[in-house]
Amino acid sequence: MNDILLLLAFSLVGFSAGVVSGLLGLGGGVIFVPSLLFLLPYLNIEEPVIFYVLATSLFGGTFSASSSFIHHFKMGNVNIKAGLLLSMGSIPFAIIVPQFTVKMDVEFIKYFVGIVLLAVSIKYFFENESSAKYKLKLKEKWMLLFGAVTGSFSGMTGLGGGVLFVPILANLFSMPFKKSVGTTAIAVTFTMLSSAVSFAFAKQNFTLDGFNLGYINLFAGVPLGLFAILGARVGTAIHFKFSTVVLKKIFSLFLMVIILRLLFF
């Protein structure tokens, strides 16, 4: 695959991830990770490619999440205090965990990421409007703990943690689902940025050609991020106009096919 086709592919992936980010409050990692596992080898990045996938996903996701946050904020759909509390808990662990992740067994990371994404797709497929029927109302101080857990999760999976932040806010802190999505965008932005910086400065065990900043591949990461900004604007607009239930089911089926291919083929 030549460079022009690769740039087009990364741009399309970035735009798609941005739409998902604006629509569902995710950082876009659920699109970036499986797509990069397929595309990065065309840049002469051979095994173990997974660390570059995680780092580049986090880099691109920082753009999509921040764009999503800006648009949700303009719509008055953000709880700033909650978003900052989650971020305060997540940032230290999002920085520390990647330093250990790059030393872990490659196959373990690959299957851990695959299983997490498969669980996400199943969750979205079976989720409906009554899924948030049973809610708790925890005190805000618990957001720091949940932020720490999610920051660790981000550093191992290349995801921003939106798959955890959104249901945590909606079900454990009784925040309306749509506001949970907007608020999550703050925490996801800081979490992905922190993990991306950590991967950029992590000690590499492999020597590669290409435009790399630590484990971040900029040839892929820049178009991913720039087009994710555009996609997030579209996703945010859709978020306020349509019910997300059917869209979640369509997205989950798409994700399930990709992850099954990753795990078993």
Domain ranges of the chain: 3-264
Q: How far is CA 188 from CA 59, 66, 183, in A?
A: 12, 8, 9
**What mean pLDDT comes out for the span 143-161?**
86
Predicted pLDDT of residue 220:
94
Predicted pLDDT of residue 157:
80
Predicted pLDDT of residue 171:
78
Predicted pLDDT of residue 139:
86
Predicted pLDDT of residue 11:
96
Predicted pLDDT of residue 264:
65
pTM for the full predicted model:
0.81
Confidence label for 45 from pLDDT (cuts 50, 70 and 90): confident
Q: Do strands 216-217 and 212-213 pair parallel, antiparallel, or not at all (unpaired)?
A: antiparallel
Predicted pLDDT of residue 212:
84
Q: Is the predicted pLDDT of residue 48 greater than 70, yes or no?
A: no
Predicted pLDDT of residue 170:
80
Q: Is the predicted pLDDT of residue 26 greater than 80, yes or no?
A: no
Predicted pLDDT of residue 98:
87
pLDDT digits 0-9 by tens, 80-131: 999 999 999 999 999 998 888 878 776 777 677 778 777 777 877 887 655 5
Average pLDDT of the chain to the nearest whole number: 83
- Spatial neighbors of 175 by CB under 8 A, at least 6 apart, are 79, 82, 169, 183
Hunting for tokens 């999610």 — which residue is that?
150
Confidence label for 209 from pLDDT (cuts 50, 70 and 90): low
Under 8 Å between Cβ of 13 and 228: no
Q: Is the predicted pLDDT of residue 248 greater than 80, yes or no?
A: no
Predicted pLDDT of residue 143:
93
Predicted pLDDT of residue 208:
56
Confidence label for 223 from pLDDT (cuts 50, 70 and 90): very high
Predicted pLDDT of residue 105:
76
Predicted pLDDT of residue 202:
80
Q: Is the predicted pLDDT of residue 57 greater than 60, yes or no?
A: yes
